[in-house]
Chains A and B, each alone.
Chain A
Amino acid sequence: MPIHEQSLIRPENIRTHDELVLDGIDVSGHWSTFIEPRVVTDYNEALEDEIAALPGGENIHRCWQCGSCTNSCTVNAVNPDFNPRYWIYLIRMGMESELLRDRDIIWQCVSCNKCTYACPRDVEPEGVMKATAHWLEKKGHTPKSPSIIFDEIFADQVIARGKIEESSIIRKFLKRTGQPLMQDWLIAMARGLLMKLPVGLMRRMGLAMLFRPRTAGWSKARAALEEYVEECEREQRRALGLGNGKPE
Chain B
Amino acid sequence: MSEERKYERVAYYPGCALEGTGHAYNRSTKAVGKALGLKLDEVKNWNCCGAMEVKNIDPKIQTYLSSRVMSIAANEMGHDVVMAPCNGCYHNLKKAEYDLEHDGKSREVVGRLSEKAGHETYEAGRVETIHALDWIKDGIGEDGLKAKVKNSLQSVKIANYYGCMYTRPRHIFPEKDKGPGSESTSEPHFMDDLLAAAGAENVDFPLKTACCGGAHTLSDSDISTKLVLNILEAAETAGADVIATECPTCHTGLEMHQIRAEKRLGRKTTVKILYFTQLLGIALGLSPRKVGVHENVSDSRGFLKEKGLA
Contact = CB atoms under 8 A, between A and B. Distances in A.
Interface of A: 55-56, 74-75, 78-79, 108, 110-114, 116-117, 124, 127, 130, 134, 145-152, 154-155, 158-159, 162-167, 170, 173-174, 177, 184-185, 188-189, 192-193, 196-198, 201, 205, 208, 213, 215-218, 220-221, 223-225, 227-229, 232
**Main secondary structure on chain A at its contact with chain B?**
helix
A196 B60 CA distance: 41
A74 B20 contact: no
Main secondary structure of the interface of B (DSSP, over half): helix
Contacts of A165: 16, 20
Nearest to B293: A196
18 contacts: A78-B226, A110-B215, A110-B223, A111-B52, A113-B169, A134-B56, A147-B216, A150-B218, A150-B219, A155-B53, A158-B50, A185-B260, A188-B259, A220-B117, A221-B117, A228-B112, A229-B58, A229-B61
A159 B47 CA distance: 10
A154 B51 contact: yes
Interface string B225-241: 01100000000000000
Contacts of A208: 19-20
Given A117-B168, A223-B116, A110 B16 contact: no
Of all A-B residue pairs in the complex, the 4 with the closest CB atoms, nearest first, are A112-B211, A224-B116, A221-B117, A146-B219
Given A108-B223, A151-B56, A221-B117, A188 B263 contact: yes
Contacts of A220: 116-118
A21 B21 CA distance: 66
B68 to A, nearest CB: 7
Contacts of A75: 223
A199 B260 CA distance: 27
Nearest to B119: A221
Contact of B168 (A113, A166, A177): A113
A67 to B, nearest CB: 18
